[in-house]
Copies of this chain bind each other. A is one copy, B any other.
Amino acid sequence: MRLLLISNSTMAGEEYLDYPKNNIKDFLGDKPVKALFIPYAGVTVSFDEYEAKVKAKFNEVGHDIVSIHHFEDPVKAVEEAEAIVVGGGSTWNMLHLVHKNNLTEAIRKRVISENVPYIGWSAGSNLACPTIKTTNDMPIIDPLGFDALNLIPFQINPHYLDKNPDGHGGETREDRINEFMVVNTDMYVAGLREGSMFLVENGKINLIGKLNCRIFKNNVQAYELSPKDDFNFLLK
């Protein structure tokens, strides 16, 4: 299984999908790949517009995409995909359409049994988790079930951030993850800061990026691991 699970598409002030483009290039390899793009998280952007944005960046690094909304049979599109790419936006809208189009088992089969590379960012990284219960997004639509692809056995919290804006009295992200752990006692949560990504291949997982990742487990004090540390316990 080969996964590239990216926290966020865009660093503040930078171009869309710019910072991870070379990681995507390396992950897909030297031979040009035309990946299947799943734009379902896009809500305030049309699927055509979303495809064009992502395609432009993939083309910059010698690869290409085609969006699943052009196919009459989305399950068949997954069955024939060279690689699968799931973009960010609304995790809820994404999972709603993944479920509605019966894609869960098709994607799992390709990625787990047939070694088709999977790239996700933001909502697309949450989709690789057991559930979407660690998304930050507003639940604008019933996802038709909280279960996601379960490609990895732990939860990612993408866009992990440490503080509230000044003067804001609500719960911090860490407070929210602490609530998750009380209700989901057996699950690790990885707080994946912006600019970070997980690379899963050959049965191993590595953190890529400049920042640490924050690890949460029920009844354990949350702690930091750096890109040099061993994250393989997360896959057990």
Give residues in A with beta carbon < 8 Å to B.
Answer: 8-12, 14, 43-44, 89-90, 93, 122, 132-142, 146, 159, 161, 163-171, 175-180, 182-184, 194
Contact = CB atoms under 8 A, between A and B. Distances in A.
For the complex, would chain A's binding face be called helix, strand, loop or mixed by DSSP majority? loop
A188 to B, nearest CB: 15
A217 to B, nearest CB: 15
Oligomer copy total: 2
Contacts of A165: 161, 163-165
A224 B12 CA distance: 27
B137 A146 contact: no
B179 A12 contact: no
A152 to B, nearest CB: 18
Contacts of A10: 169
A134 B92 CA distance: 12
B8 A176 contact: no
A138 B142 contact: no
A180 B137 CA distance: 10
A44 B216 CA distance: 14
Contacts of A44: 175, 178-179, 182
Contacts of A89: 179
B133 A179 contact: no
Given A8-B170, A133-B138, A164-B165, 14 more contacts: A8-B169, A10-B169, A43-B183, A44-B178, A44-B179, A44-B182, A89-B179, A133-B141, A135-B138, A135-B139, A136-B138, A137-B176, A138-B176, A139-B146
A169 B194 contact: yes
Given A43-B179, A170-B159, A194-B169, A140 B12 contact: no
